[in-house]
Amino acid sequence: MAKGKTIGERKLRPESLMMSYGYDPHRSEGAIKSPIFQTSTFVFRTAEEGKAFFELAYGLREKGPSEEIGLIYSRLNNPDLEILEDRLTLWDEAESCAVFESGMAAITTTLLAFAVPGDVILTSSPIYGGTHHLLTHVFKRLQIEQRVFRAGADAAEMEKALEGVDPAKLAAIFIETPANPTNRLVDIRAAANLARSLESAERKIPVIVDNTFLGPLWQQPLKHGADLIIYSATKFIGGHSDVIAGACLGSAEWIKPVRMLRTFFGSMAGPWTGWLLLRSLETLKLRMTAMMRSARQVADYLVDHPKVQSVRYLGLLRQGDEQYDLFQRQCVGPGSLIAFEMVGGEREAFAFLNNLQLVKLAVSLGGTESLAEHPASMTHSDIDPVTQVEMGITQSMIRLSVGVEHAEDLIADLEQALACV
């Protein structure tokens, strides 16, 4: 086990390591916090050292048993990013991590590390708007085809989506669970079994899970057979609605081509972003736990309200519900995202949104402040109305990201806004 992860036999939990892991104060004048290494390049001690660092960075030879990749240039590596990557691996028990300047940079770089023209990417649906646009417009131009199955599909339905596809052309299975905004779960194990059944010695098929909504606290996809995890670190990981960032995690073998492409796309995060995320990680568990506790109270309140037609929140799943067993198997907790439908349509939904006082009307999620939005006309407006309805996105639906405010104050705000409708 790596240094600093244990005390005697005790394996320390991630939250105990977020303030210290991967950083040696004595290499930085004793500063308890990592400085911001705002530098583009790093000085080599000797020409031989510079040569050795490049050999490793460009994969020209294997790393020696006790050899470390030295610092070269901040597009390849930087101390703030390396400490952040080390700390992020702890939550998902991943071997390796690469951080990016946005969630979209992480998704684009990761998918292009595996897909070439003529390939197919199988995805769940609905999927994040940016990812949807990337696949249906940008990748289409690159002749990378997308095949789709709906969130909640069983193994047979996932396989059916690949009808007529040569398995040798399948570059990746990319899923998002729970789906946004409907909170329908995608079975990670079923997707992994499908990938394993279709891959060959020549071509491995990575199962990539966008874990932004529940991770890293309430869902750990690698434990359910996924190969790579993606985060928009803009959301819960950053957690304060003040930074855009992303990450990709997995085994060293899977991360290697992703990191290599990141170097040449230049899609890495900057040192300032890395430093901000280090600060955020110290309170990640506290924030996510408080937000989930309040979300349960808010969901219970909404369920009983006469102007609310339905509430989709994972914490409301009960034994006998279609997705209950999958939730129990795959998730550690229900998180803090709630979607609910008002009685009525867009007019009622807008009246509610326009009257909120404490909750802010904005897209994004996972930050300290509660946010509400209207998926049909905002985050999911790119999807045609018929498909929206098929996905369960209706005109009266509101998506709510519950923050760290007092639950009773949030409920008071929802109550007065609902009364205005």
Ligand X SMILES: *Cc1c(COP(=O)(O)O)cnc(C)c1O
246 near ligand X, judged by CB under 6 A: yes
Sheet holding 170-176, edge to edge: 96-100, 246-250, 228-232, 207-210, 170-176, 120-125, 145-150
Range 191-210, binding ligand X (CB under 6 A): 210
Range 99-118, binding ligand X (CB under 6 A): 102-104
Q: Minimal distance in Å, beta carbon 91 to ligand X?
A: 17
Nearer to ligand X, 232 or 388 (CB): 232
Q: What is the rounded CA–CA span in Å between residue 136 and residue 59?
A: 33
Q: What is the rounded CA–CA span in Å between residue 391 and residue 127?
A: 10
Q: What is the rounded CA–CA span in Å between residue 362 and residue 404?
A: 16
Q: Minimal distance in Å, beta carbon 123 to ligand X?
A: 12
Q: Minimal distance in Å, beta carbon 195 to ligand X?
A: 20
State the number of binding residues for ligand X (CB under 6 A).
15
- Answer yes or no: are the C-beta atoms of 57 and 76 closer than 8 Å: yes
Nearer to ligand X, 162 or 182 (CB): 182
Instruction: Dig out the tokens for 232 from the structure.
Output: 């928009």
Nearer to ligand X, 56 or 244 (CB): 244
Q: Choose the stretch contacting ligand X; rule: CB under 6 A; options: 128-136, 266-274, 315-323, 331-339.
A: 128-136
Sheet holding 371-373, edge to edge: 308-312, 337-342, 397-401, 371-373, 360-361
Its sign, for the CA torsion 21, 22, 24, 28, is negative
- Binding-residue pattern over the window 255 to 294 for ligand X, x denoting contact by CB under 6 A: ----------------------------------------
Q: What is the rounded CA–CA span in Å between residue 254 and residue 230?
A: 12
Task: State which of residues 12, 36, 52, 244 lies at the interface with ligand X (CB under 6 A).
Answer: 244
What Cα–Cα distance (Å) separates residue 304 from each residue in 192, 205, 309, 406? Answer: 38, 45, 9, 20
Nearer to ligand X, 175 or 194 (CB): 175
Q: Choose the stretch contacting ligand X; rule: CB under 6 A; options: 3-11, 123-131, 343-351, 392-400.
A: 123-131
Instruction: Please give the residue ranges that form the binding site for ligand X (CB under 6 A).
Output: 102-104, 128, 130-131, 176, 180, 210, 212, 232, 234-235, 244, 246
